[in-house]
Amino acid sequence: MSTIPVGISACLTGQTVRHDGGHKHSRYCTEVLSRWFTLRPLCPEAGAGLGTPRPSMRLEQRGEAVRLISPRNDHDVTDAVMAWSASQLDALADLRGFILTAKSPSCGMSRIRVYNPEGDVVRRDASGLFAVALMQRYPLLPVEEAARLNDDALRENFMERVFLYDDWCRLRAAGLSAATLLDFHTRHKLQMLAHSQQGYRELGRLLADLKRVDLNALADEYIARVMHLMRQRVSPGAHVNVMQHVLGYFRRNTDAALREAADAQIAAYQRGEVPLVVPLTLLRLMQQQAPDAWLARQHYLAPYPDALGLRNRL
């Protein structure tokens, strides 16, 4: 797991590459996530040779195009940043995720302001130039802003997507077959069910007859749907539904008192009295005491390292 490659805006690692010569060091990224990820820092502006420190820049609407402009001297650096970004994209094919800097006109994922030449805000829904190029080239790649990782649910969702996408990339590297595709789908079934019951059913129908379709084309459509589904947040009710489904596997072969305790903690989670980790810990204990082969393969019970503590706050 320590070799999972994840891109990151260089300023988030403490590199002094921002326009004012500063940084936006994220200790969560460098001290926590770096235990499982190999962080690969990039800075489009510094990489494009703009220098540090440098005049601040903003996105401006110039006719039909959005340009990256330094308002101090009306210097347009769009082409330089876009050329550098294009030169880097091929080398990012092995990444399993990317953590960007919020509000950056080059690295911001969303909600970036666009100005007119007079300095008035005309839009607030843009993405940074590099972020656009990255997401267009790699639409499956889990992408998030470091500031949004302060939100418990968004942080957990991003991490779940990164580890699932890593599993998929390993599958493709080892060689795609009908058997490996079905095995991937099987071990992630409960995760998909939690994110979207409708999406889960549609994916099952998509894989219903693998002998009659082009397997590579089907795999591309399948993972595109999976990654779209995984972006949806899991509601407490959806977690309750999945956990009750899991509990059903232990109705006959586990201690009745433990089943009752798990059922009570699922209900307590639904009422918001305990975090998600509490009922899930009991379900995992039941799995240890009375192993079920199908449940043993389900990543829902442990989609990422426990030490991340992500479900302690959900």
pLDDT score of 204 more than 80? yes
pLDDT value for 26: 98
Average pLDDT estimate for 212-216: 91
pLDDT score of 1 more than 50? no
CB 99 within 8 A of CB 161: no
Pairwise CA distance, residues 119 & 241, whole Å: 50
| Residue recorded with tokens 């994220």 | 26
Label residue 254 by pLDDT band (50, 70, 90): confident
What integer best gives the mean pLDDT of the chain?
96
User: Which residue did the predictor score with more confidence, 122 or 212?
Assistant: 122
Label residue 2 by pLDDT band (50, 70, 90): low
Pairwise CA distance, residues 230 & 254, whole Å: 32
Average pLDDT estimate for 264-271: 98
Label residue 253 by pLDDT band (50, 70, 90): confident
In this structure, of 185-199, 206-220, 229-243, the range with the lowest mean pLDDT score is: 206-220
pLDDT score of 60 more than 90? yes
Give per-residue pLDDT as tens, 117-156. 999 999 999 999 999 999 999 999 999 999 999 999 999 9
Q: How far is CA 308 from CA 32, 36, 158, 297, 299, in A?
A: 8, 9, 12, 20, 15
pLDDT value for 211: 85
Label residue 169 by pLDDT band (50, 70, 90): very high
Average pLDDT estimate for 158-174: 98
pLDDT score of 296 more than 80? yes
The helix/strand count (H/E) of the chain reads as 13, 9
pLDDT score of 5 more than 70? yes
Average pLDDT estimate for 266-273: 98
pTM: 0.96
Give per-residue pLDDT as tens, 18-41. 999 999 999 999 999 999 999 999
Label residue 3 by pLDDT band (50, 70, 90): confident
Listing DSSP states for 230-295 in one string gives: HTSPPPHHHHHHHHHHHHGGGTTTS-HHHHHHHHHHHHHHHTTSS-THHHHHHHHHHHHHS--HHH
| Residue recorded with tokens 């957990």 | 156
Pairwise CA distance, residues 300 & 52, whole Å: 45
pLDDT value for 138: 98
Closest CA to 227 of 304, 289, 154, 165: 165
